[in-house]
Amino acid sequence: MQKITKICCIGAGYVGGPTMSVIANQCPEIEVTVVDINQNRIDQWNDENLDNLPIYEPGLKEIVAETRGKNLFFSTEVDKAIDEAQLIFISVNTPTKTYGKGKGQAADLKYIELCARNIARVAKDDKIVVEKSTLPVRTAGAIKSILQNTGNGVNFEILSNPEFLAEGTAINDLLNADRVLIGGDETPSGQEAKDALSAIYLQWLPKERVLQTNVWSSELSKLVANAFLAQRVSSINSISALCEKTDANIAEVSRAIGFDSRIGSKFLNSSVGFGGSCFQKDILNLVYIARSFGLPEVADYWEQVIIMNDYQKKRFAENIITTLYNTVSGKKIVFYGWAFKKDTNDTRESAAIYVADALLDEQAEIVVYDPKVPAERVYADLDYLNTRSPEENRRLLKVVNDPSEAVEDAHAVAVLTEWDEFKTYDWKAIYDKMLKPAFVFDGRRLLDKEEMETLGFDYYKIGQS
Q: Under a CB-based contact definition with an 8 Å cutoff, are residues 337 and 370 in contact?
A: yes
Residue 460 engages ligand UGA in binding (rule: CB under 6 A): no
Name the CA dihedral angle for 365, 369, 373, 379, rounded to a multiple of 10 degrees: 10
Q: 14 among the known binding-site residues?
A: yes
Residue 431, H or E segment: helix 427-433
3-class SS shares of the chain: helix, strand, coil, % to 5 = 45, 15, 40
Residues of this chain, 125-154, that bind ligand NAD according to CB under 6 A:
133-134
Residue 267 engages ligand UGA in binding (rule: CB under 6 A): yes
Residue 119 engages ligand NAD in binding (rule: CB under 6 A): no
Q: How far is CA 411 from CA 225, 364, 392, 458, in A?
A: 41, 10, 21, 11
- Coil, helix or strand at residue 349: coil
Q: Tell me how far apart the alpha carbons of residues 315 and 371 are, in angstroms, rounded to a whole number.
A: 26
What DSSP assignment string belongs to 25-41? HH-TTSEEEEE-S-HHH
Nearer Cβ to ligand NAD, position 115 or 353? 115
Q: Residue 106 CA to chain centroid, in angstroms?
A: 18
Residue 36 engages ligand NAD in binding (rule: CB under 6 A): yes
- Coil, helix or strand at residue 308: helix
Q: Under a CB-based contact definition with an 8 Å cutoff, are residues 7 and 33 in contact?
A: yes
Q: Tell me how far apart the alpha carbons of residues 162 and 211 are, in angstroms, rounded to a whole number.
A: 12
Q: Compute the least distance from the CB of residue 123 to ligand UGA, in Å.
A: 28
From candidates 115, 180, 250, 382, binder to ligand NAD by CB under 6 A: 115
Residues of this chain, 243-272, that bind ligand NAD according to CB under 6 A:
none
Nearer Cβ to ligand UGA, position 56 or 340? 340
Q: Compute the least distance from the CB of residue 300 to ligand NAD, in Å.
A: 23
Residue 114 engages ligand NAD in binding (rule: CB under 6 A): yes
Binding mask 39-78 for ligand NAD (x = CB under 6 A): --x------------------------------------x
Q: Under a CB-based contact definition with an 8 Å cutoff, are residues 69 and 76 in contact?
A: no
Nearer Cβ to ligand NAD, position 316 or 338? 338
Q: 117 among the known binding-site residues?
A: no
- 278 a catalytic residue: yes
Q: Which segment (160-168, 174-182, 367-375, 383-391) binds ligand NAD by CB under 6 A?
A: 160-168
Nearer Cβ to ligand UGA, position 119 or 205? 205
Residue 276 engages ligand UGA in binding (rule: CB under 6 A): yes
Residues at the binding site for NAD(+) are 11-16, 36, 41, 92-96, 133-134, 167, 278-281, 348
Which residues are the active-site residues?
A: 278
- Please give the residue ranges that form the binding site for ligand UGA (CB under 6 A): 134, 163-167, 226, 229, 233, 267-269, 271, 274-279, 340-341
